[in-house]
Amino acid sequence: METGRHLKFKDLIARRFEGCQGLDVYMDVIKACFTAIKSRDLAEHYRKYLQWCTDSSIAKALEP
């Protein structure tokens, strides 16, 4: 079952970025945490995505 926080997490990290080949999201219900694994074509694509994460304060949006 997807919680509101789970849906918010998926929405934030699943935004389309150049070079994204896939996204797997795992939820640990005991620890109440998520793990996201994304595959990219090139390291440069990852750096651009990481910069977006930093600029958009994605970590703050996911705080409980």
Q: How far apart are CA 64 and CA 9, in angstroms?
A: 11
Contact 50, 63 (CB under 8 A): no
Tell me: the pLDDT tens digits for 10-57? 666 666 678 888 778 888 889 888 788 888 889 998 898 888 878 877
Q: How far apart are CA 8 and CA 44, in angstroms?
A: 26
pLDDT value for 53: 78
